[in-house]
């Protein structure tokens, strides 16, 4: 039997994590091969590799421990790639040469697939004097535009999708321009943006006091703190950005506050990092650790959790030594502190299996218990590693024990650290797990609630046909397997039905035992009032969160995946399954990117009575092991044909590059007739030279397996059916698979159909 709980899980593995030859031939024949590859590679540094390989394999088996995607895809492949997910770049110097040195470092990091964060507060504000050149500074926003263009260039070269986080302090003179920068829909599209909010600023907001905007020793402006806060809130209310990072709290709670100052985070915010800071990620799948689900004696196996966490910490510590790094400074930073970010996924599903409603006080208390158990097991496992392999190089017993979250650990854990040291300076983080959660059988993502209990996705087959496939939440499928058609209990709630306060309550409960931070999206209803919206952020501040990210669907941000109940439940009755419709499409909002080289074929087409032949070249791209037409070139020495063949070349190629089932092009061309008459070719009457070109394209599509046979292409363009006249769109389209259903999950626009995430 397959280990995959759902077809989408196997498809995600095949697309993203399966080790393949350059031509797409699989090397990992089964998912067990992938687990073995990862386990073997991460066990190589151990004194007894065979023992630890089996132990690591057991942790990976059945998706109990889920290394981040870069580890799953890269470990054991011998490819020169980084296994780290998160990078914050060096401090940006306030000089032209220094700024562009940083730009080069960013490009090198993104070229290897790293998401990066930058603090732009160090660049002098717009209009400030630039000594020696008799000019005014253009300000940090202008240089952010340069970074944005660089990221788009890296993407267009075929690299992994870039992701960047830009931060700016709330007292920088250009902060108001930073706040509103993304109100321009064409600007800074490659950035997530967050304001670094200080304790002093929050106190000034609450006191309705003045706030100075400064750079260096100069005060540029004095504004009303509450007015500035309202500008942040209004932009976030309207455009879902900027986010808010409580930077003083992050530094106060940092275990390493004695050797580093944090001013930026990775793109999703779960890793606040110092200059050149790097971190790797992984998640324990809580949904796989619950015994007797939905029964009165349901419980999460604490012994299994402790053992799994200890194994995961060891595996992640080994990644520090196994990984390559884009920059030497990043390697040195990783080795000096051995930072890891172990988190969870499947939390909401695990709570459901215990009969707990996500967002309630009871669920928050249970979450805090589990997070403390993970923190305790993580720190003790790292102490054991320190006994065996040594503490991280910058460990200072007295300073470490009196800083950050370490102060809150149980006394026996603190005593163990004091006696033996600790291998990893920081250990816990809750990262976005959208793709790996799908790979694990569509368990709930991170600490998010279940977004939709079931939805339908369209799957494009290699012959161009589309099939429908239901994607069901892991816990819901378990309920169905156990109870059949019995309605879901009332404690089954989802992201759309939860009050924002319930989201914040869960984030705050988890944050108490997370030494880094949390990637979490607080879904807000579209009709939430501005005052209620602002209160969400105040609740996050008041309850100890390190930051806050919200998402309110509207015309600017786009609607989210729609969720509706299959039937209305009368008072006292249990609601039916929530079902989401993810839309009808399989087309790209951005064109497919062109690889450096393509395979294709050239066909000679001789139209009767024409002096010159037409030569038709069709090049193909390979996606997920299947060939599909990508571009067309039509050439002829007949100058009468030049204009229309050039136009046809460009138009057909443009259609091919948007992806999806483009076989309708064949049928459209074959239907064109020439009023001057057609011609007989190979025993068939062809109504025009354009119809002949359509026939050539059809033969090519059959030859590469894109369509099954003659006449089996689509008769019309299915994209025309995406949205009916007068009907509202069903959410933004996915740039990877085209489905109209992008949703904000853990701070990232994420596709539930293919696992694409804006943040990588």
Provide the residue count of the chain. 760
| CB distance 106 to 89 below 8 Å | yes
Question: Tens digit of pLDDT for each residue in 301-358?
Answer: 999 999 999 999 999 999 999 998 989 999 999 999 999 999 999 999 999 999 999 9
Q: Which of 72-81, 153-162, 284-293, 579-588 has the lowest mean pLDDT?
A: 579-588
- Catalytic residue (choose from 192, 266, 424, 442): 266
Only one residue has tokens 């580890």, namely: 71
268 is an active site residue: yes
Look up residue 399 and give its two tokens.
């300073």
pTM, whole model, 2 decimals?
0.79
User: CA torsion, points 58, 61, 64, 69, in degrees to nearest 10?
Assistant: 110
For all residues of the chain together, what is the average pLDDT? 86
Question: Tens digit of pLDDT for each residue in 646-704?
Answer: 888 888 888 888 777 788 888 888 888 777 777 888 777 788 888 899 999 999 999 88
Only one residue has tokens 């009871």, namely: 362
Question: Tens digit of pLDDT for each residue in 583-598?
Answer: 333 334 345 667 777 8
User: Strand pairing partners for 167?
Assistant: 119, 194
318 is an active site residue: no
- Catalytic residue (choose from 270, 357, 668, 746): 270
Question: Tens digit of pLDDT for each residue in 726-750?
Answer: 333 455 666 566 566 677 766 677 7
CA-wise closest residue to 66 among 432, 391, 550 = 432
545 is an active site residue: no
| CB distance 226 to 233 below 8 Å | no
CA distances from 730 to 368, 559, 742 (A): 36, 7, 9
CA atoms within 13 A on the CB side of 663: 26
User: Strand pairing partners for 603?
Assistant: 616
DSSP letter (8 states) at residue 61: G
Residue 208 φ/ψ region, left for φ over 0, alpha for ψ in the -120 to 50 degree band, beta for the rest: left
CA distances from 583 to 714, 733, 752 (A): 19, 9, 11
CA-wise closest residue to 56 among 36, 73, 82 = 36
**What is the mean pLDDT of the segment spanning 716-735?**
51
Instruction: Please report the sign of the dihedral spanned by the C-alpha atoms of residue 484, residue 485, residue 490, residue 494.
Output: positive
Q: Which of 25-34, 270-279, 417-426, 460-469 has the lowest mean pLDDT?
A: 460-469
Neighbours of 486 (CB within 10 A): 10
- Catalytic residue (choose from 268, 545, 751, 754): 268
**What is the mean pLDDT of the segment spanning 549-573?**
53
């Amino acid at each position: 039997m397959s280990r995959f709980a759902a077809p989408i899980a196997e498809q995600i593995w095949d697309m993203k994590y399966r080790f393949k030859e350059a031509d797409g031939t699989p090397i990992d024949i089964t998912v067990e091969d992938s687990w073995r590859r990862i386990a073997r590679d991460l066990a190589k540094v151990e004194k007894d590799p065979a023992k630890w390989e089996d132990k690591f394999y057991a942790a990976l088996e059945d998706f109990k421990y889920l290394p981040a995607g870069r580890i799953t895809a890269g470990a054991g492949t011998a490819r020169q790639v980084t296994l780290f997910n998160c990078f914050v770049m060096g401090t940006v110097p306030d000089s032209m040469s220094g700024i562009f040195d940083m730009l080069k470092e960013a490009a090198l990091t993104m070229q290897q697939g790293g998401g990066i964060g930058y603090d732009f507060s160090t660049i002098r504000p717009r209009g400030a004097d630039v000594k020696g050149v008799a000019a005014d500074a253009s300000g940090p926003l202008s240089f952010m535009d340069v970074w944005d263009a660089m990221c788009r260039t890296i993407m267009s070269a075929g690299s992994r999708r870039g992701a960047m986080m830009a931060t700016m302090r709330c007292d920088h003179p250009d902060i108001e321009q930073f706040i509103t920068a993304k109100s321009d829909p064409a600007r800074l599209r490659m950035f997530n943006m967050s304001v670094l909010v200080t304790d002093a600023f929050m106190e000034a907001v609450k006191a309705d006091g003045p706030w100075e905007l400064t750079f260096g020793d100069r005060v540029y402006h004095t504004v009303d703190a509450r007015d500035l806060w309202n500008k942040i809130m209004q932009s976030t209310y309207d455009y879902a950005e900027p986010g808010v990072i409580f930077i003083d709290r992050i530094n106060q709670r940092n275990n390493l506050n004695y050797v580093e100052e944090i001013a930026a985070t990775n793109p999703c915010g779960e890793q606040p990092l110092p200059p050149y800071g790097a971190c790797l990620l992984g998640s324990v799948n809580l949904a796989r650790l619950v015994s007797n689900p939905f029964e009165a004696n349901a419980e999460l196996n604490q012994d299994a959790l402790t053992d799994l966490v200890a194994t995961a910490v060891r595996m992640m510590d080994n990644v520090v030594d196994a990984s390559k790094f884009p920059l030497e400074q990043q390697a040195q930073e990783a080795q000096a502190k051995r930072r890891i970010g172990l988190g969870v996924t499947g939390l909401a599903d695990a709570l459901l299996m215990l009969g707990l409603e996500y967002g309630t006080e009871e669920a928050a208390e249970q979450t805090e218990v589990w997070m403390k158990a993970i923190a305790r097991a993580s720190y003790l496992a790292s102490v054991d590693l320190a006994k065996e392999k040594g503490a991280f190089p910058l460990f200072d017993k007295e300073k470490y024990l009196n800083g950050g979250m370490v102060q809150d650990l149980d006394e026996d854990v603190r005593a163990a650290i004091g006696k033996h040291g600790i291998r990893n300076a920081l250990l816990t983080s809750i990262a976005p797990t959208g793709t790996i959660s799908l790979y694990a059988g569509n368990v709930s993502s991170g600490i998010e609630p279940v977004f939709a209990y079931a939805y339908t996705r369209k799957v494009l087959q290699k012959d161009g046909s589309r099939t429908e496939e239901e994607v069901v939440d892991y816990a819901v499928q378990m309920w169905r397997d156990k109870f059949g058609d019995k309605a879901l209990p009332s404690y089954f709630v989802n992201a759309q039905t939860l009050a924002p306060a319930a989201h914040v309550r869960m984030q705050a409960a988890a944050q108490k035992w997370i030494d880094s931070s949390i990637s979490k999206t607080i879904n807000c209803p579209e009709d939430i009032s501005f005052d209620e919206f602002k209160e969400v952020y105040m609740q996050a501040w008041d309850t100890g969160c390190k930051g806050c990210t919200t998402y309110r669907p509207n015309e600017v941000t786009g609607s989210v995946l729609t969720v509706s109940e299959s039937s209305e439940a009368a008072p006292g009755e249990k609601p039916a399954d929530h079902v989401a419709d993810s839309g009808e499409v399989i087309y790209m909002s951005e064109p497919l990117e062109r690889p450096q080289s393509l395979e294709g074929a050239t066909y000679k087409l001789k139209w009767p009575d024409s002096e010159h032949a037409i030569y038709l070249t069709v090049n193909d791209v390979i996606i997920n092991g299947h060939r599909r037409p990508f571009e067309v070139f039509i050439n002829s020495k007949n100058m009468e044909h030049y204009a229309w063949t050039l136009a046809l070349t460009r138009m057909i190629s443009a259609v091919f590059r948007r992806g999806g089932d483009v076989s309708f092009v064949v049928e459209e061309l074959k239907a064109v007739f020439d009023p001057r008459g057609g011609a007989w070719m190979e025993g068939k009457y062809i109504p025009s030279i354009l119809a002949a070109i359509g026939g050539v394209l059809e033969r090519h599509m059959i030859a590469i397996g894109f369509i099954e046979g003659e006449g089996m292409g689509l008769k019309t363009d299915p994209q025309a059916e995406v949205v009916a006249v007068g009907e509202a769109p069903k959410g933004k389209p996915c740039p990877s698979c085209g489905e109209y259903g992008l949703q904000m999950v853990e701070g990232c626009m994420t596709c539930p159909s293919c696992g694409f995430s804006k943040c990588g």
